[in-house]
Chain A
């Protein structure tokens, strides 16, 4: 069964760092670009960034709002995508979702259930 499972969320103080993981199963992970999105409580969806497959250089792109603080990486041998968040701000409070696409310019499907990150002192 095709599945994406996020983990690593929790309550974190402002200024601290947090690492999220997205563990994939049911498909050939290395063939896909992986992307992270987030949704603040009661708000809409926001794209965070993506990492391309190794076939397309494994390069990353980020939303301007997170560039420099967020880092996406992948371990194809473990079928895991990572999101490292540094210098957390209260406005980073959100459910973080991972999803996959065949590449940039392809739709994202499916999405994981998400992991909640709460930034508060």
Chain B
């Protein structure tokens, strides 16, 4: 199984400041035949289902604010929120869909400082 490890577990950032969440996979999720990384980022607010923010490591979903960006390749990935807004308070998960069993990072709880 591919183990996904996020850091930090929790993060407090001031409004308007940058938030950075890291995700590391125990093996590469880059598929060489198409040069795509099989990595998503989800946002989950209390009492709500996960919301897909970014797929293929860096492709922002329609309707997701452009302050959210994803980067990285292979085994190391980053979710960046360029200017934190109050509505961004949530738990963020990375997930690999390279191979089953699909696995998630443990989650990063993002709060306002």
**CB within 8 Å of B: which residues of A?**
35, 44-47, 50, 61, 63-64, 97, 101, 104-114
- Counting residue pairs across A and B whose Cβ atoms lie within 8 Å, the total is 54
- The residue of chain A having its C-beta at the shortest distance from the C-beta of B59 within the complex is A107
Say what secondary structure dominates the interface of chain A.
loop
- How far apart are A24's CB and chain B's nearest CB, in angstroms? 14
Distance (whole angstroms) from the CB of B55 to the closest CB of chain A: 4
- Shortest beta-carbon distance from B65 to chain A in Å: 17
Question: Contact residues of B with A, CB < 8 Å?
Answer: 31, 38, 40, 42, 44, 48-52, 55-56, 61, 93, 95, 97-98, 100-107
| Residues of chain B within 8 A of A112, CB atoms compared | 49
In the bound complex, residues from chain B placing their C-beta under 8 Å from that of A104 are 97, 100
Tell me whether A63 and B101 are in contact in the complex, defined as CB-CB below 8 angstroms, given that A44-B106, A110-B52, A111-B49 are known contacts: yes
Shortest CB distance A20–B (Å): 15
Bound CA–CA A64/B100 (angstroms): 10
Query: Are B52 and A45 closer than 8 Å at their CB atoms?
Result: no
23 A-B pairs with CB atoms under 8 Å apart are: A35-B102, A44-B104, A44-B105, A45-B42, A45-B93, A45-B95, A47-B102, A61-B100, A64-B101, A97-B50, A104-B97, A104-B100, A105-B97, A105-B98, A106-B97, A107-B40, A107-B52, A107-B56, A108-B52, A110-B49, A111-B49, A112-B49, A113-B49
